[in-house]
Amino acid sequence: MESRPDLILLDIMTHSLHGAVFIQRLRDLPEGKNDSKVIVFTNLDNDISKSKFSKDDISAYLVKAEMSLDQVVKKVSEVLSS
């Protein structure tokens, strides 16, 4: 049995792979478009960083410095219930 996460909370600045590349690879999986919801969670708050993500590929783009833990939990709940 194959298991896919309902939600991925992704920091786009990782050691080995930029988050935009990760999402592209996720969406290009051979078994078809992966339907896991993705919330980008980062401190990069600029148009260049945001433009790397298609609205079709992510559910939300959250800037860490602007969010309390309660706000993050609320957004995760909203995304999972949509």
Q: Is residue 55 part of a domain?
A: yes
More reliable by pLDDT, 36 or 31: 36
Secondary element (H or E) of residue 69? helix 69-81
Residue 25 lies in a domain: yes
Structure tokens at 81: 């219930």
- pLDDT tens digits, 34-77: 678 889 988 887 777 777 777 778 899 899 999 999 999 999 99
Q: Is 2 contained in some domain?
A: no
Q: Is 39 within 8 Å of 8 (Cβ atoms)?
A: yes
60 is in which domain, residue-wise? 7-81
**Residue 1 pLDDT greater than 50, yes or no:** no
The pLDDT value given to residue 32: 52
d(CA 39, CA 5): 12
Task: Return the pLDDT at 31.
Answer: 65
> What CATH number corresponds to the domain at position 38?
3.40.50.2300
- Total domains in the fold of the chain: 1
- Report yes or no on whether pTM surpasses 0.85: no
